[in-house]
Structure 1
Amino acid sequence: MNRSCVNYLKTLVISLNFLCWLCGAFVVALGEFQMMHSKFASLVTTFWPIFPANTLVVTGTLVTCVCYLGVFGGLKENRCMLISFFVLLFILMLVELAMACVFLVYSREIDTYFEKDLMQSLEIYRQSSPGSNMTIKDDFDAIQYLFRCCGVHGSADWKGNVPISCCSRNPCNTQIHPDWQEGCLVKLSDWFSRNYRSTGAGVVTMFILQFICLSVTVPLFCHFSRRGLGYQ
């Protein structure tokens, strides 16, 4: 392999890894944005380890760290960095495949998790004194207001003590006010499923880009190995 081909591969490796690094940074930012704007973190506790936001932050952080190593390995023509990058990225891709399988399995059980946790949160809200469990109350009120729903299956879940966040039209400051009739379970499940699909699409895109990075890194590493280069 002549030097022009090596320089071309080196530039391609650096560019692809830098693009992968940027994608990882964007994924982290998107996950953080979802975390800050999530209004139900305290309501659904069983499912929290594989929330889309958590998944994006963890995956994006790992990708940025690994691709950072790939960028410097290409710049320095360092075989140790390149082989470390190759191994770590390969492991990361296997983890992403495992996560995709987990998403596929758990996506069928979203309704079960949501119904159980939301009913538990509703009971805590309903039985709490005015000044207690404010996080759960605020989150449940935000969900009902934003999604225009009431209770888990409907307003009957509140057993006559319907909060004002269920009010469907003004005036809402009266003792008896019109409420949303649809429960929050269906709307939250649909919203969560849409987020899962977008997260899955992002993971697939990252996987394809990482596979291309691996494919380009192999010939460059082999060239350095044959020439005995890359340990400086």
Structure 2
Amino acid sequence: MDRSCVNCLKSFILFLNFLCWLCGAFVVAFGEFQMMHSKFMSLVTSFWPIFPANTLVVTGTIVTCVCYLGILGSFKENRCMLISFFFLLFVLMLVELAMACVFLVYSTKINTYFEDDLMKSLVSYRDGTPEATKKLIDDFDAVQSLFKCCGVHGSADWGDNVPISCCTSDPCNAVNFTTWDEGCVVKLRDWFAHNYRSTGAGVVTMFIIQFISMCISVPLFCHFSRQGLGYQ
């Protein structure tokens, strides 16, 4: 392999890894933004990947670290870094595939986790148990106000303790006010599904970039090996 071909491959893998690193950094920032501004995290606790922000932050952090290693390995022509990059990227891609399979196979069970968590939060709020923290109460009120829904399956879930956030009019000062008919579980599922579609499109894009980067790192590693480069 002549030097011009090596330089071309180096430039290409540097570009791909830098692009992937930027994507990973954006994913982390977007996940952190969701964590700070979302009103739903305290309502879903049993199965943490249900909440997209957690998955975004963890995945994005790993991607940025691995891609940075690939950038350094290509730039310094260091085969030790390149083989470490190849191995870590291969493991990361396997984890991404495994997570995708888990969500596909257990999509029904995930919906059950989602519904059960919401019901537990509602019972804590309604009965005033110690688990009913101010954040949980505020989050549930925010969900009902934002999505114009009441309870998990309907206002009957609240019994005689229907919160004012279920009121259909604004401002709502009446004692016997009118409530939203639809429960929140369906609307929240649709909201989460929309977020996962957007997240899934980003993950597929990163997966393609990672696969191409991994393929290019192999001939570069072989060339550096033959030239005796790699550990300085």
TM range (shorter): over 0.9
Quote the Cα distance in structure 2 between the aligned partners of 1:5 and 1:171: 69
The Cα of 1:50 is off from its aligned counterpart by 4.5
Between the aligned partners of 1:145 and 1:8, the Cα distance in structure 2 is 56
* Matched residue SS, 1:86: helix
Which 4+ runs in 1 deviate beyond 4 A? none
Paired residue for 1:166? 166
Distance 2:90 2:118 in 1: 39
Letter in 2 for 1:204: V
TM-score after normalising by structure 2 = 0.94
Change (3 A) 1:171 1:81: closer
Q: Which amino acid aligns with 1:72?
A: L
Q: How big is the shift at 1:230?
A: 2.1
Q: Aligned pairs, how many?
A: 231
SS at match of 2:229: coil
Deviation at 1:37, TM superposition (A): 2.2
Deviations 1:70-124 (A, max 9, x none): 1011111111111111111111111111111112123222331122111111111
Aligned runs of 1:101-112 on 2, under 5 Å?
101-112=101-112
2:93 alignment counterpart: 93
Distance 1:112 1:184 in 2: 14
In 2: Cα distance, 1:156 partner to 1:9 partner: 64
Structure 1 CA distance, aligned partners of 2:20 and 2:9? 16
**Residues 189-220 of structure 1: CA deviation (Å, up to 9, x unaligned):** 11112222222222111111100111111111
Please give the residue correspondences for 1:133-148 in structure 2 after superposition, counting only pairs within 5 Å. 133-148=133-148
Of 120-129 and 206-215, the range deviating more from structure 2: 120-129
Report the equivalent of 2:216.
Answer: 216
Matched, 1:44 2:44: yes
Listed one character per residue, the Cα deviations across residues 5-58 of structure 1 (whole Å, up to 9, x for unaligned) are: 111111111111111110110111111112122212111111224522111111
TM-score, normalization: structure 1?
0.94
Report SS of the residue matched to 1:42.
Answer: helix
Report the Cα distance in structure 2 between the residues aligned to 1:51 and 1:171, rounded to whole angstroms.
Answer: 31
The residue type paired with residue 103 of structure 2 is F
Cα RMSD after superposing both structures: 1.6
Conserved 8 A contact 1:110-1:189? no
Q: How does 1:2-13 map to 2 (within 5 A)?
A: 2-13=2-13
* Structure 1, unaligned runs of 5 or more: none
**Contact preservation (8 Å) 2:125, 2:137:** yes
The 2-side partners of 1:83 and 1:154 are apart by: 56
CA–CA distance in structure 1, aligned partners of residues 127 and 173 of structure 2 = 22
| Unmatched tracts of structure 2, length 5 or more | none
Q: 1:1-232 residue pairs with structure 2 within 5 A?
A: 1-128=1-128, 133-232=133-232
* Contact kept in structure 1, 2:22 and 2:64, CA below 8 Å: yes
**Aligned AA for 1:148?**
K
Equivalents in 1 of 2:7, 2:111: separation in Å? Answer: 53
What is the percent sequence identity of the aligned residues?
74
Distance 1:50 1:211 in 2: 26
